[in-house]
């Protein structure tokens, strides 16, 4: 099932985010993956999920081979 990250994207454009295992709850963010990871670890999250939110959304139609 797809997860809607629209609210996360709108708030954290261009940043790295550390998410809880539910893949919806942001526990930390930063300009780099290392920043987001370190902040999440300081808050007690041992294995956060890291994702980078794009600076802007670019539509894509089709497929690539």
**How is the chain split into domains, by residue range?**
14-52
- Are 39 and 29 in contact by the 8 Å Cβ rule? The answer is yes
Query: 43: which 2 tokens?
Result: 């808050």
Query: 12: which 2 tokens?
Result: 């954290």
What is the arithmetic mean of pLDDT over 2-27?
95
What is the arithmetic mean of pLDDT over 9-26?
97
1 pLDDT band (50/70/90 cuts)?
Answer: confident
pLDDT, position 65: 66
Residue 30 to residue 33: CA distance in whole angstroms = 7
Task: For residue 37, give the nearest of 59, 14, 15 by alpha carbon.
Answer: 15
pLDDT, position 64: 66
- Are 16 and 50 in contact by the 8 Å Cβ rule? The answer is yes
- Comparing 37 with 57, the larger pLDDT belongs to 37
20-48 pLDDT per residue, tens:
999 999 999 999 999 999 999 999 999 99
């Amino acid at each position: 099932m797809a997860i809607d990250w629209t609210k996360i994207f709108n708030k954290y454009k261009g940043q790295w985010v550390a998410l809880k295992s539910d893949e919806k709850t942001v526990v930390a963010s930063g300009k780099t993956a290392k920043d987001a990871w370190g902040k999440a670890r300081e808050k007690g999250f041992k294995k956060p999920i890291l994702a980078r939110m794009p600076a802007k959304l670019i539509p894509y139609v089709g497929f690539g081979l």
